[in-house]
Each structure stands twice: as C-alpha cells, then as structure tokens.
C-alpha cells in the first residue's frame, strides 16, 4: 500500500468532486437514468493532486469504491436520494495504454487502457452482485458477496453470530432469495488488437472483457474503442483441476469511443465556425480537391469526383417502402503505376468509418459477414461483421477489385445497389446494412489498356458488365508519355521524397510525427490564415458536420438542367441501331453528384451550379472512357458497335442464303457477299468461327456449309 490510507480516500474524493465536478453532478442528477455515470478525467485528477492520481493506477479497486461512495453521498446531501451512479475515470496517461499482445503479469491489478476493436459481444445478462440466501431449517437469511462471475458462492453454514441455527451445508439447504438479492447487468465483450498494431504475419490477439452496469450493451461488433479497466486472472482448468497458468480478463471500468461515424466525431464550436468560414469561401471546391491525396500530382477531375464521393448524396425512402441510395460508387480502371492504390488508401483513412480491403485477400465472408460457430456459447452460430458492414455510413475502398473470386464478387451486387446484405447461413436469416460508398480499382487483364482494339476499355478488365453498370463514375487512367506532364510529375514525386520524414526516426521518437494533427494544422496554414490544403482531421470533421446537418434537395432549375441533359444525350445514339447513349441509372447518379456538391457548400438546396458541376464531371469521365460517341451498349455487351454490326450482317447474309437454297448456305457465297458489304475476308472468317464456337451457327455438312441455329 502507498502512503495514502484507504480510510482517507472517500474524504479526498469528496473534496475533488466538490471542487471540480459539482456542476456535472447536478446535471447527472437531472439526466438520471439516461446518464448512469460521471466521467472524471485523469488529467484533472493529476492536476489536482499528483500523488493521489498515481495511487489510482496502482490500487484502482479501493479508489472506485471510495469514489462511488463519495458521489452517492454528495447526491444524498444535495437531496437526491436513491440514485446509484458510478464514477468513470477516462483519459489515462499514454504510458498506461497497451495493446492486447503487450499485456504482462506486472499489469494485473493495475488500471490500464487497451486500444482495440470489438469483434464479438454476448447478450446482456443479469449477474448476482450480492446474493441473499435463506436457511430452510430456521428461516435465517444471509448476505454473500459474489466477486467471481464464473461460479456462485454459497454459504458454508448458517452462522450463529447473526442469529442463525449453526447448521452446516450438509444438514440444511440454502435457497437463493432472488427478490432480495442485488442483480446487475453484465456482458462479455471480446476485444481484438487493431490491424495496424499487429506485427507482420501473426494472428491478432484477443482478450475477453466484462462490461457491467451502464457499460453493458453499449458496444457493437466492429466498434473501435479504448477500454479502461483492471486486469484480473482466473486459473485455466484441465481435467477438472486448476492449473498454475492463468487466463487474463479485463473488467471494463470506462469506455472511450474511438471509431467515429458521424455522431461520434466531436466538433468544437471553434471548429464549427472554421468549417462554416471555409464553406463560405468561393474557392472551397478547389481547396477540397487539393486536399485529397496532396502527395499525388494532378488528376484534378478524379480528385473532384472523390471529393463529391466523400460527401455523398442523400438516401431517399419512398412512400412504397423502396429506397434510393445516396452513396456514389466510383471505379478507377488504370494501367499499373497510376497511383490507384495510393488514392484508395488515402480515401479510406480520410473518410469517417473508412475501410480498406484488397481483392485477392478478401473473400465474400470477409467483405460481407461470416457465420461463425461460437465455442463459448454452446456451439451456437454467431455473425461476425465484414468490411462492408463495418464501413456502414462511410466508405469502403476495394483494391484489385478484378482479382476477387467470381463467387465473392457476386455478393457485391446487392451490397452496392440495395445497400444491404441478406444472409441465410446456418439457421441465421439476417439482413445487414451496408450503406457505404464503394471506391474500387481494377487493372487491365493484358497488363495495359489497348486503345486500338475491337474490345471496349470496360471489357479489358475482368469484371462482369452488370457490376460495371452499378458504378456512377468510371475513370480510365492511362499511362501515356507526354513531355510537359512527365516533367511535372517527376519533380513532384522527387520533391515529395525530400519533404518526407524517416519512418524509423519517427518511430524512435527522435523527430516529431508529421501526421499529428496540431503540427499538421500549423504547417497547413498560409501567412494570411487560409489553408493551402485542409489537414486530415479537419477534413474529416467537415465531412461529418456536413453529412449530419445538411440534406439537400434539387431546386427546379437544377432538375430541369439534368432532365434536359438526359433527353439530349438519349437522342444522340451511337453508331449502330442497338446503341444507347445513357440510361436511367445515370439520372440518379447525376442527382447524387449535384446533392453532394451542395453539401460541400453546406447548402440545403442543390442549385443550377451544382447540376452544372455534376454534368461537367459526367461528360469528362464519359469522354475519357469512349470519346465523342459514348455507347452504353458497348459496356453492357463487352463489344464495340462496329463488331456488333458486323456480326449482325454475317448472320443476315447466312439467313438469306439459307432461305434461298432451302438447306444450308455455302461458305464461299457468304464470304463474297460479306466482301461486298466491306467486311474483309479474314475478318468474316474470324466472325464465322466465333459464331460457330458460341453456338449461334453450325456447319451441318462439313466446313463449307453454314446454317443458323
């Protein structure tokens, strides 16, 4: 024990709460029972009395008891009886923070904090805190404390000291009086170390935690959390006997939520004013575009679309119960080395609730949800959330999208359009929500894109046309030599190398970490107080603030512009009869882009300017992908219009000749007729071979005869 006596603790806690927290306690009394505890910052305690603060870390259990006692006494004195709140100590010093794999014997019984992600939770169950037993022989009742959550402790005898009959366990029976006993809510929570803390190639370690009272039921699987609490141990049992090796558990004392979807990003008043100032500025779009992956040169159009994707449109629920998604899906198809993965990584860190997955190493279960048999809960099946579910209301960046297994990719269809995942596995029928924007990257199958080819660009990657059509924007990133641009890119990359800090030195602590927010903010400001690029944490707060507060709708002018663009584009079909220049899906994409553009300005109305921005961007990606004659049928069929026309003509020729002769058409006649229609002989032979392979044509009596199936 340290120099502080246990008997002094309640008095010390009382004076601390009176000095620093009296207002907070009055608010707590008003908010009861919605608020069940008072959060006390360790930093405040340290400023108040350093020795006292250090003692909390070494002997937490005495302090928790004294603090709760002092708080309840304070409320009694204030005339607030029958409240049973708890003191929760948060913001522990950084030398008390551990990862799961760093826990050692010295940490047992001390107060520590664990940074982790919740992987599994059990149901909230009542647990005995103190049990009242009645002796059946004489009717005497006894109170027994229950410190262990693994076993129920019964009295050994009916004690004579407080008026019992003295019989022991064998001679009488003790019955639990549930009404008189004190039950509390309790829940088992499994925490796993964060992916970025793991050393390469090892399985992440997990720890079982116990959350009680108002902490039970607060976490969901997938939440990132800092859990403060006290480690305790229970002996491992083998063959019904206790062994000298112990399992470690954490009794959670307080939770600090880390994973920050929209409602948990804390935005101070000062930051809110700063965000509003930035949004009022006329150059806000350029500033935000510059702020997206500033280490990557150029790609202005692409970054503009990524900026709109961050903010997203507004999801709508219709009267008939159907839902229109608000998230914008973007596909980056590019030659190797065009910085696709870099963009994806950046977007997944900058978006609230962003997730990154890579095609080859992601299965359908890893992206959607896995049904897992739980050994702890009698072999029942439980669901573990995958990347898309964890990215709900955020952004999922999927690299190497074309390398995923076909079966796994099929689970993306529903996740992208309906934004939910239906699971029917192992007796579990559940629907999980995946309201996230998908940013995917794919490489061409032949290594690089072939600009001069009968196959459109979208068919040069290994993705099915129905999946490609679900993307609102498809960027084609080709790596073509161009002297001026190459010069700029080269200087930019080398300058970036010079600006960077050595990772080893940052880890050793010899030089400051350039990604820390305070340093980043100071560096990002210009002399006149404006930003060259927005710091990452401010951009994140901007996105969260805008999504939370603003739900824009299109005004009449914007509506008219989008409808007008759609109708005009429909008129200009491509070069063949079955060409379609634009489909209704693109209409929704345009309105989503316009809504996102309004959100950036923090405006409740999407105006003609926003519609114009959406149309310009749509024209830009369509032009990049296919030039002037944009033909959606190319994307949907995987064949260019010219090829489709030639196939159709050959089928027509065979059909006419077949009808004339009454049996089969002659190959030579077909080739002669094809040459008259400007289809070269070799090309015609290739097409005929392909049609025979596909089963649309056959050779009934030898190579020279052709017949339509």
Statement: residue 263 has pLDDT above 60: no
Query: What percentage of the chain has pLDDT greater than the value 90?
Result: 1
Q: What is the band of 635 on the pLDDT scale with cuts at 50, 70, 90?
A: low
Cis before 33 (ω within 30): yes
What's the CA dihedral at 279, 280, 281, 282 to 10 degrees? Answer: 100
Least trusted range by pLDDT, from 94-98, 474-478, 523-527, 591-595: 523-527
The helix (run of H) or strand (run of E) holding residue 120 is strand 111-121
Domains and CATH numbers, the chain: 6-91 (3.30.1640.10), 98-257 (2.40.50.140), 292-500 (3.40.50.300), 553-627 (1.10.8), 641-708 (1.10.10.10)
pLDDT computed for residue 527 by the predictor: 59
Q: What is the band of 472 on the pLDDT scale with cuts at 50, 70, 90?
A: confident
Q: Residue 481 has which token pair?
A: 């030599």
Is the distance from CB of 155 to CB of 168 less than 8 angstroms?
Answer: no
pLDDT computed for residue 447 by the predictor: 75
CB burial of 572-594 (b: ≥16 within 10 Å; e: otherwise) equals ebbebeebbbbeeebebbbbbbb
CA distance 333 to 296: 17
The per-residue pLDDT for range 264-309, each reduced to its tens digit, is 566 778 888 888 888 888 888 888 888 888 777 778 888 888 888 8
The per-residue pLDDT for range 473-527, each reduced to its tens digit, is 888 887 778 788 888 888 888 887 887 777 788 777 777 777 665 555 555 666 5
The helix (run of H) or strand (run of E) holding residue 135 is strand 125-135
CA distance 71 to 582: 67
Give the Cα-Cα-Cα angle 356, 352, 424 (nearest 5 degrees).
60
3-state secondary structure of 617: helix
pLDDT computed for residue 618 by the predictor: 87
β-bridge mates for residue 118, sequence order: 191
pLDDT computed for residue 178 by the predictor: 79
Is the distance from CB of 62 to CB of 52 less than 8 angstroms?
Answer: no
pLDDT computed for residue 81 by the predictor: 66
CA distance 315 to 325: 5
pLDDT computed for residue 654 by the predictor: 75
CA distance 542 to 668: 69
pLDDT computed for residue 578 by the predictor: 56
Statement: residue 202 has pLDDT above 70: no
Those residues whose C-beta lies under 8 Å from the C-beta of residue 689, and which sit 6 or more positions away, are none
Number of H helices, E strands in the chain: 24, 27
* Cα distances (Å, whole numbers) of residue 68 to 88, 181, 207, 665: 9, 20, 27, 95
Helix ranges, 152-299 (H) = 269-280, 284-291
Statement: residue 228 has pLDDT above 70: yes
Which carries the bigger pLDDT value, residue 151 or residue 598? Answer: 598
Is the distance from CB of 13 to CB of 67 less than 8 angstroms?
Answer: yes
Statement: residue 454 has pLDDT above 50: yes
Interval 579-594 mean pLDDT: 82
The per-residue pLDDT for range 66-86, each reduced to its tens digit, is 888 888 887 777 777 667 778
Give the Cα-Cα-Cα angle 274, 277, 278 (nearest 5 degrees).
90
The per-residue pLDDT for range 322-347, each reduced to its tens digit, is 888 888 888 888 888 778 888 888 88
Statement: residue 1 has pLDDT above 50: no
Is the distance from CB of 552 to CB of 603 less than 8 angstroms?
Answer: yes
Interval 35-45 mean pLDDT: 80
Tokens 């084609």: give the residue.
476
Antiparallel, parallel or unpaired: β 141-145 and 125-135: antiparallel
pLDDT computed for residue 262 by the predictor: 54
Q: Residue 107 has which token pair?
A: 């940490």
Phi/psi zone of residue 426: left (φ > 0), alpha (ψ -120 to 50 degrees), beta?
A: left
3-state secondary structure of 163: coil
pTM (2 decimals)?
0.65
Give the Cα-Cα-Cα angle 610, 551, 349 (nearest 5 degrees).
85
What's the CA dihedral at 137, 141, 147, 152 to 10 degrees? Answer: 30
Query: What percentage of the chain has pLDDT greater than the value 70?
Result: 83
pLDDT computed for residue 426 by the predictor: 67
Statement: residue 205 has pLDDT above 50: yes
Cα-Cα-Cα-Cα dihedral sign, residues 190, 195, 197, 198 = positive
């Amino acid at each position: 024990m340290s120099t502080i006596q246990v008997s002094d603790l309640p008095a010390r806690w009382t004076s601390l709460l009176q000095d620093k927290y009296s207002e907070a306690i009055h608010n707590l009394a008003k908010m009861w029972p919605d608020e069940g505890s008072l959060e006390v910052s360790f930093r405040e305690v340290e400023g108040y009395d350093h020795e006292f603060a250090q003692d909390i870390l070494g002997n937490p259990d005495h302090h928790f008891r004294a603090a709760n006692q002092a708080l309840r006494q304070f409320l009694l004195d204030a005339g607030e009886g029958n409240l049973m709140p708890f003191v929760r100590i948060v913001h522990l010093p950084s030398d008390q923070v551990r990862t799961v794999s760093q826990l050692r014997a010295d940490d047992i019984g001390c107060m520590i904090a664990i940074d982790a992600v919740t992987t599994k939770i059990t149901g909230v169950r009542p647990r005995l805190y103190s049990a009242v037993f009645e002796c059946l022989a004489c009717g005497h009742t006894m109170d027994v404390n229950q410190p262990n959550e693994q076993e129920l402790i019964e009295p050994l005898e009916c004690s004579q000291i407080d008026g019992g009959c003295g019989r022991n366990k064998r001679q009488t029976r003790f019955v639990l009086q549930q009404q008189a006993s004190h039950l509390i809510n309790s829940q088992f929570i499994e925490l796993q170390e964060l992916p970025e803390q793991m050393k390469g190639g090892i399985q992440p370690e997990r720890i079982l935690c116990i959350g009680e009272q108002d902490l039970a039921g607060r976490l969901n699987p997938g939440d990132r959390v800092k859990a403060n609490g006290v480690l305790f141990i229970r002996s491992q049992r083998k063959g019904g006997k206790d062994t000298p090796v112990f399992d470690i558990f954490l009794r959670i004392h307080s939770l600090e939520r880390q994973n920050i979807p929209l409602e948990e990003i804390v935005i101070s008043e000062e930051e809110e004013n700063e965000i509003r100032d930035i949004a009022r500025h006329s150059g806000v779009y350029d500033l935000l575009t510059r702020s997206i992956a500033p280490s990557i040169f150029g790609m202005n159009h692409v970054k503009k679309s990524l900026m709109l994707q961050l903010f997203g449109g507004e999801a709508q629920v219709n009267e008939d119960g159907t839902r229109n998604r608000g998230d914008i899906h973007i596909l980056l198809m590019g030659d190797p080395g065009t910085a696709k993965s870099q963009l994806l990584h950046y977007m997944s860190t900058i978006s609230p609730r962003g997730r990154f997955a890579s095609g080859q190493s992601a299965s359908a279960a890893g992206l959607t949800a896995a049904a897992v048999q739980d050994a702890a809960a009698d072999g029942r099946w439980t669901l573990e959330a995958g990347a898309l579910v964890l990215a709900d209301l955020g952004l999922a960046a999927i690299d190497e999208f074309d390398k995923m297994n076909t079966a796994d990719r099929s689970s993306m269809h529903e996740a992208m359009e309906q934004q939910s995942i239906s699971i029917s596995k192992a007796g579990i029928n559940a629907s999980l929500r995946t309201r996230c924007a998908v940013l995917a990257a794919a490489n061409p199958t032949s290594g690089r894109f072939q600009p001069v080819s009968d196959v459109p660009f979208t068919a040069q990657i290994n993705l099915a046309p129905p999946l490609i059509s679900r993307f609102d924007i498809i960027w084609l990133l080709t790596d073509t030599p161009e002297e001026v641009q190459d010069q700029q890119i080269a200087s930019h990359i080398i300058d970036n190398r010079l600006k960077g800090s050595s990772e080893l030195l940052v880890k050793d602590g010899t030089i400051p970490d350039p990604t820390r927010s305070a340093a980043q903010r100071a560096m990002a400001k210009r002399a006149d107080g404006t930003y060259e690029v927005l710091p990452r944490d401010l951009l994140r707060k901007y996105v969260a603030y805008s999504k939370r507060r603003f739900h824009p709708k299109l005004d009449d002018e914007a509506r008219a512009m989008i409808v007008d663009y759609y109708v005009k584009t429909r008129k200009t079909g491509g070069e063949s009869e079955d060409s379609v220049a634009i489909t209704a899906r693109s209409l929704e994409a345009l309105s989503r882009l316009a809504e996102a553009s309004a959100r950036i300005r923090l405006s409740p109305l999407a105006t003609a300017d926003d519609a114009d921005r959406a149309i310009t961007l749509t024209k830009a990606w369509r032009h990049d992908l296919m030039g002037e004659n944009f033909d959606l049928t190319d994307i949907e069929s995987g064949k260019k219009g010219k090829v489709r026309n030639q196939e159709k003509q050959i089928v027509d020729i065979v059909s006419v000749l077949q009808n004339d002769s009454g049996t089969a058409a002659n190959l030579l006649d077909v080739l002669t007729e094809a040459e008259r229609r400007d289809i070269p002989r070799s090309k015609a032979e290739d097409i005929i071979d392909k049609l025979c392979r596909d089963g649309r044509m056959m050779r009934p009596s030898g190579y020279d005869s052709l017949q339509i199936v």
